[in-house]
Amino acid sequence: MATPTISQTLVPGAFGPAVALSCRECGERYELGPKFACEFCFGPLEVAYEFGTVTREQIAAGPNNIWRYAPLLPVPADVASKPNLNPGFTKLVETRNLGRELGIKNLYVKDDSGNPTHSFKDRVVAIAVEAARNFGFTTLSCSSTGNLAGAVGAAAARAGLRSCVFIPSDLEAGKVVTAAAYGGELVAIEGNYDEVNRFCSELIGDPAGEGWGFVNVNLRPYYGEGSKTLAYEIAEQLGWRLPEQIVIPIASGSQLTKIDKGFRELIKLGLVEDTPYRVFGAQAEGCSPVSAAWKAGHDVIRPVKPDTIAKSLAIGNPADGPYVLDVCKRTGGAVEDVDDVRVVEAIKLLARTEGIFGETAGGVTVGCLKKLVETGQLDPAASTVVLNTGDGLKTLDAIEATTGATATIRPSLESFREAGLA
Rule CB under 8 A: which of 371-410 touch a copy of itself?
391-394, 396, 399-400, 403-410
Residues 23, 38, 154, 259: which binds a copy of itself (CB under 8 A)?
A: 154
Residue 119: Cβ within 10 Å count: 27
Q: Evaluate whether 348 touches 98 at the Cβ level (below 8 Å).
A: no
| Cα distance between the two ends of the chain | 79
Of the ranges 17-25, 36-44, 155-163, 272-280, which one interacts with a copy of itself (CB under 8 A)?
155-163
Does residue number 157 form part of the binding site for a copy of itself (CB under 8 A)?
yes
Give the residue with the Cβ less far from a copy of itself, 88 or 289. Answer: 88
Name residues contacting a copy of itself, limited to 131-150 (CB under 8 A): 150
Residue 392 CB, nearest approach to a copy of itself (Å): 6
**Nearest Cα to Cα of residue 125 among 222, 201, 37:** 222
Name residues contacting a copy of itself, limited to 71-130 (CB under 8 A): 83, 85-86, 89, 91, 96-97, 114, 116-118
Query: Rounded to the nearest 5°, which phi and psi values hold at 151?
Result: -65, -40
Name residues contacting a copy of itself, limited to 165-184 (CB under 8 A): 167, 169, 173-174, 176-178, 180-183
Residue 353 CB, nearest approach to a copy of itself (Å): 6
Give the residue with the Cβ less far from a copy of itself, 181 or 292. Answer: 181
Q: Kindly tell me the burial class for residue 65, based on how many C-beta atoms sit within 10 Å of its own C-beta (0-12, 13-18, 19 or more).
A: buried
For the window 192-221, what string marks contact with a copy of itself as x by the rule CB under 8 A? ---xx-xx--xx--x-x-------------
Residue 196 CB, nearest approach to a copy of itself (Å): 7
Q: Evaluate whether 354 touches 109 at the Cβ level (below 8 Å).
A: yes
**Cα 406 from Cα 421, distance rounded (Å):** 10
Give the residue with the Cβ less far from a copy of itself, 200 or 327. Answer: 200
Give the residue with the Cβ less far from a copy of itself, 79 or 378. Answer: 79
Element (H, E) at 321: helix 321-331
The string of DSSP codes covering 80-111 is: GGSSS-------EEE-SHHHHHHT-SSEEEEE
Q: Evaluate whether 251 touches 315 at the Cβ level (below 8 Å).
A: yes
Residue 205 CB, nearest approach to a copy of itself (Å): 10
Does residue number 296 form part of the binding site for a copy of itself (CB under 8 A)?
no
> In degrees to the nearest 10, what's the CA dihedral of 370, 371, 374, 379?
-70
Name residues contacting a copy of itself, limited to 9-48 (CB under 8 A): none
**Cα 340 from Cα 362, distance rounded (Å):** 12
Residues 323, 357, 368, 372: which binds a copy of itself (CB under 8 A)?
A: 357
Angle (CA) 41-46-51 rounded to 5° is 140
Does residue number 185 form part of the binding site for a copy of itself (CB under 8 A)?
yes
Name residues contacting a copy of itself, limited to 212-271 (CB under 8 A): none
Residue 86 CB, nearest approach to a copy of itself (Å): 7
Counting residues that bind a copy of itself (by CB under 8 A) gives 79
